[in-house]
């Protein structure tokens, strides 16, 4: 055991002497380049700025180009991160502007107060049927309050409030089978009832047989709706079903203006509270 320790100590001593001898020898260009690049990889900060330029001037040209290229790449990466942050901020401002524009277009004609709320929860098994928002009874929301959503600067029907707690509410989406809203075609004035089907597509029933409906026609809330203000966009006709001779009306399929699966925030129309005398 002692013999093994002595041999190990001899080896350590020999390596130490060799290292000292090598360090005392004049450094070649390759050794200098290796040391400089190793130092840069370990800590690149001293090679930035004016002092960094002075430091790398004494190095071989290949090493200077390598370090300069890497430093430039790091700067570009930092700028890309900053650009991504600015892009995200710009997108947030764009959405805020879209919301304000949509609110202004409605506030001039709606006798109700407006309240924006964020979607905070969805049930996977009811993805196209209901969602939870972060506003409730304390914010003046009531069961039956109409819920809208903004899409490309315009408002569209999203659903209605069916449950409220102090700070949250449940929204039954228009795409749910239990949802329905009186609707009409602003151009042709034909009126019917838009109902959910539990999927993305909606169905408009009770259209007069003589109604001339084409794919792409706009569908909006009817002035006869007891829940929603008139002329709020619902969607576009995506399919006209063949007329059933056993029905006294015709049916069309409607593609909603706002996809129920993409809702992130909604606008609730609540009754204005009476001001105290």
Q: End-to-end distance of the chain based on CA atoms, in angstroms?
A: 100
Do residues 207 and 250 touch, judged by C-beta distance below 8 A? yes
Query: Phi/psi at 219 (nearest 5 deg)?
Result: -120, 130
H/E stretch holding 156: strand 154-164
pTM of model > 0.75 = no
The pLDDT, as a whole number, for residue 254 is 97
| pLDDT tens digits along 17-49 | 655 554 554 555 555 555 555 555 545 555 554
The domain at 110-270 falls in which architecture? Beta Barrel (2.40)
Range list for CATH 2.40.10.340 in the chain: 110-270
CA torsion, ordered 241, 242, 243, 247, to nearest 10 deg? -60
**pLDDT digits 0-9 by tens, 46-61:** 555 445 555 555 556 6
* Per-run averaged pLDDT (10 residues), the chain, 277 residues: 64 62 52 54 51 55 65 68 62 63 54 84 87 94 93 87 96 95 90 94 93 93 90 94 84 94 90 57
- For residues 185 and 172, is the Cβ–Cβ distance under 8 A? no
- With tokens 């277009």, the residue in question is 105
Do 157 and 225 contact (CB within 8 A), yes or no?
Answer: no
């Amino acid at each position: 055991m002692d013999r093994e320790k002595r041999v190990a100590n001899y080896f350590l001593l020999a390596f130490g002497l060799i290292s000292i001898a090598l360090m005392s020898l004049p450094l070649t260009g390759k050794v200098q380049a290796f040391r400089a690049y190793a130092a840069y990889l370990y800590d690149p900060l001293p090679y930035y700025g004016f002092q960094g330029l002075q430091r790398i001037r004494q190095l071989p040209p290949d090493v200077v180009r390598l370090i300069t290229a890497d430093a430039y790449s790091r700067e570009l990466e930092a700028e890309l991160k900053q650009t991504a942050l600015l892009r995200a901020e710009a997108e947030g401002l764009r959405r805020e502007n879209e919301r304000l524009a949509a609110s202004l277009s409605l506030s001039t004609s709606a006798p109700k107060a407006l309240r924006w709320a964020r979607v905070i929860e969805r049930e996977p098994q009811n993805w196209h049927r209901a969602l939870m928002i972060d506003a409730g009874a304390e914010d003046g929301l009531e069961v039956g309050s109409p819920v809208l959503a903004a899409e490309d600067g315009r408002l569209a029907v999203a659903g209605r409030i069916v449950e409220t707690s102090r700070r949250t509410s449940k929204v039954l989406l228009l795409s749910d089978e239990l949802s329905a809203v009186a609707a009409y075609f602003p151009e042709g004035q034909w009126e019917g009832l838009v109902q959910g089907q539990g999927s993305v597509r909606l169905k408009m029933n009770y259209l007069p047989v003589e109604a001339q409906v084409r794919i792409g026609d706009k569908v909006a809330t009817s002035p006869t709706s007891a829940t929603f203000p008139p002329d709020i966009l619902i969607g576009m006709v995506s399919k006209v079903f063949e007329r059933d001779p056993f029905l006294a009306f015709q049916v069309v399929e409607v593609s909603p203006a706002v996809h129920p699966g993409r809702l992130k925030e909604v606008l609730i129309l609540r009754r204005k509270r009476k001001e105290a005398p």
